Amino acid sequence: ELGNYVKEEEFLRAVALVRLVVQKWLEPPDYDRMHLSTLIHQTLSHLRQTGGMNLRDLFDALVVRGQFRNVAQADFVSLLRGLSDLQLVEQTPDGLLILVLEGEAITADRSFFAAFQNSEELSVLHADRHLGNLAADLVPPAGENLLLGGRRWEVIEVRDTEGILLVKPSTHSRVPYFKGDRGEIHDRVAQEMHSVLRDTDEPEWLDENAKTLLRCSRTFALRSRVVESGIVETQSAVQWFPWSGTKVMRTLELLARKEGVIPSVDQLSLTYPGWDEARLRQHWSTIAEFGDAPTALSDLMASKCFEKFDTFVQPNLLNAANARDRLDVAGARSLACNHFGRTSREESGSTGR
């Protein structure tokens, strides 16, 4: 069964990571992110420490001379206006930015000192009954199914700012939505996983059980075309293995949603219901020509709050940050161009013969 590869994904990733360590590869830092949640934390920290600062000095300390150099002055002002609207800060008549009661309470809380957390969690509710919590980065869009407490639930509404996910018992047979484990995968790691399946060597540091699992994985991948083309077609869907990292995969998912199809997504593949390989190739052409602003995609994200203070960011600014921090439109377009160009050449060659 094709889905069996999911059981082997963690094993393949572990092998790929060890191979990369042997190659002395380290994941490069992402210097292009805006880090608005951390910027809010530092803004509130500075105001608490100093008792108040004017806008110019605060911008100079955090952006000009600080670590948030990807944040434009206009975005910084917008961020502060959002904090003011939430009654966390205010500006005195002489231009001094200070904390107000709510801001004082937040910064006085012991948990405030931790700027980061694994993930925001949403409280899952059905008819005012609390069913449990779900990490924000695992939340499916409205209309999708999820599994919780051994039951299948349909998402009614996602309320990020309230930390609430409303659900009802599912009455349809749509496959539950899976986002995989937490944490993002770099493109290089996904590509190395592909190489693990494509190669024939058996590393000495694998025991016999692991070597057997590796052989089985490679045999299955070859028979299913996962290694060769990355495309597996069934009677009801087509599954694509782009061998790309989390940012590209997330972008590809949103590009499909923009075309009106809801793919099933895991860490390695996207499954497009009702499509065949020809329809997927048309989609590659659409992706290659995508020219809208990345925020047109981030606006489609089911859950937009990933970090501790994201709920304090104004929606339009959070969209811009997510587009920059969590998507890779250029990478998705390049991938689609390569696939579309390759299949076009293959079809031309076949016609020529």
What confidence tens digit (pLDDT) does each residue in 135-148 have? Answer: 776 777 788 888 77
Least confident range from 67-71, 97-101, 113-117, 283-287: namely 113-117
* Residues β-bridged to residue 165: 124, 158
Question: Residue 184's closest CA among 78, 98, 3, 306?
Answer: 306
Of 216 and 349, the structure prediction assigns the larger pLDDT to: 216
% of the chain with per-residue pLDDT over 90? 59
pLDDT tens-place string over residues 90-101: 999 999 999 999
Question: Residue 240's closest CA among 248, 230, 250?
Answer: 230
Question: Residue 52's closest CA among 116, 99, 109?
Answer: 99
Q: pLDDT value at position 339?
A: 80
Q: What would the mean pLDDT of 192-204 be, rounded to a whole number?
A: 93
Q: What would the mean pLDDT of 319-331 be, rounded to a whole number?
A: 95
Output b/e per residue, 48-76; b: 16+ Cβ within 10 A.
Answer: beeebbeeeebbebbbeeeebebbeeebb
Q: What would the mean pLDDT of 165-175 be, rounded to a whole number?
A: 78
Of 146 and 293, the structure prediction assigns the larger pLDDT to: 293
Residue 299 pLDDT more than 90? Answer: yes
Q: In which band, very low, low, confident or very high, does the pLDDT at 115 lie, cut at 50, 70 and 90?
A: low
Residue 160 pLDDT more than 80? Answer: no
Chain mean position to CA 5: 21
CB 89, CB 83: distance < 8 Å: yes
Q: In which band, very low, low, confident or very high, does the pLDDT at 347 lie, cut at 50, 70 and 90?
A: very low
Q: pLDDT value at position 120?
A: 66
Pairwise CA distance, residues 165 & 155, whole Å: 7
Least confident range from 134-138, 189-193, 218-222: namely 134-138
Residue 350 pLDDT more than 80? Answer: no
pTM above 0.75, yes or no: yes
Q: What would the mean pLDDT of 253-260 be, rounded to a whole number?
A: 94
% of the chain with per-residue pLDDT over 70? 88
Question: Residue 84's closest CA among 66, 68, 72, 97?
Answer: 97
> How long is the chain?
353
Of 115 and 10, the structure prediction assigns the larger pLDDT to: 10
User: In the predicted model, what is the mean pLDDT of the chain?
Assistant: 86
Q: In which band, very low, low, confident or very high, does the pLDDT at 150 lie, cut at 50, 70 and 90?
A: confident
Q: Where are the alpha helices (DSSP H) in 240-314?
A: 246-258, 277-288, 295-298
